[in-house]
């Protein structure tokens, strides 16, 4: 059976046609698949499970139906939705996986990540990530009133857009040494991740052996899906 991988959907009420595209993808193609893996940034922003909106409701309903039809969904947090919690995961019947999980895909050990931890040249981002991934920061943030959390998220998005435009593309892409070290640390030869919005299947050489890094695309204008079946992988545009 085909195993499906998506990431960086950035679902948001401002782009309802993309939410519709995803809901249809889940209802049609994913319902025939062996499993669906979502590698982060399913949502444009996530300020807590208590702030669920209509987009989140539609997605939870679609994924819960998928689960009822016998197809498991696995979710790895992205840098936009790292606060997505157990309550929402239960509603959507998604299984949360740690960032950097090795899973068995048709007998091969494959490493799955969101991808932001590989962008080690981006020091300001890594500093924010380290701070915002502490339990104390998250507890304090989630305890703030919804309006304050919304304002913080909007400001963070605006700053991130300004920053990304202001620095060289290489800074916000993965670091080749970090990729090699990560593959070695997990003892794998294949990595699938998102985050950079630079879809590609990169052939690499790691310690004299072939390896592969597959980068999923974003869903800003179209969908992007990776299909794995019988040892073949294909990355294509959707919609």
Write out the residues near Mn ion by the rule CB under 5 A.
Answer: 41, 78-79, 195
Residue showing the smallest CB distance to Mn ion in the complex: 195
Nearer to Mn ion, 40 or 48 (CB): 40
Nearer to Mn ion, 44 or 189 (CB): 44
DSSP string, the chain: --EEEE----B-TT-HHHHHHHHHHHHTTGGGSSEEEE-S-SBS----GGG--HHHHHHHHHHHHHHHTT--EEE---SSSTT--HHHHHHHTEEE--SSEEEEETTEEEEE--SGGG-TT-HHHHHHHHHHTSHHHHHHHHTS-HHHHHHHHHHHHHHHHHHHHHS-TTTTS--HHHHHHHHHHHT-SEEEE-SS---EEEEEEETTEEEEEEEPPP-SSSEEEEEEETTEEEEEEE-
The nearest distance, CB 1 to Mn ion, in angstroms, is 28
Nearer to Mn ion, 78 or 223 (CB): 78
Nearer to Mn ion, 71 or 76 (CB): 76
Nearer to Mn ion, 1 or 123 (CB): 123
The nearest distance, CB 197 to Mn ion, in angstroms, is 8
The nearest distance, CB 221 to Mn ion, in angstroms, is 17
The nearest distance, CB 207 to Mn ion, in angstroms, is 29
The nearest distance, CB 45 to Mn ion, in angstroms, is 11
């Amino acid at each position: 059976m085909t195993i499906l991988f998506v990431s960086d959907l950035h679902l948001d009420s401002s782009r309802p046609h993309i939410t519709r595209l995803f809901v249809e993808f889940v209802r049609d193609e994913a319902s025939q698949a062996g499993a669906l893996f979502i590698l982060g940034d399913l949502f444009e922003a996530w300020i807590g499970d208590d702030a669920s909106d209509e987009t989140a409701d539609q997605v939870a309903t679609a994924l819960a139906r998928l689960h009822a039809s016998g197809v498991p969904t696995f979710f790895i947090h992205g840098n936009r939705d790292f606060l997505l919690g157990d309550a929402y995961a239960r509603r959507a019947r998604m299984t949360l996986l740690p960032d950097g999980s090795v899973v068995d895909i048709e007998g091969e050990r494959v490493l799955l990540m969101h991808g932001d931890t590989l962008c080690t040249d981006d020091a300001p981002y890594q500093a924010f990530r380290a701070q915002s991934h502490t339990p104390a920061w998250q507890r304090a943030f989630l305890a703030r009133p919804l309006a304050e959390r919304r304002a913080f998220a909007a400001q963070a998005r605006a700053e991130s857009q300004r920053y990304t435009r202001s620095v060289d593309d290489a800074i916000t892409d993965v670091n080749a040494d970090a990729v090699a070290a990560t593959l070695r640390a997990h003892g794998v030869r294949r990595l699938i991740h998102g985050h950079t919005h630079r879809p590609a299947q990169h052939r690499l050489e790691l310690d004299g052996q072939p390896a592969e890094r597959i980068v999923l695309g974003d869903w800003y204008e179209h969908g992007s899906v990776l299909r794995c079946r019988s040892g073949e992988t294909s990355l294509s545009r959707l919609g």
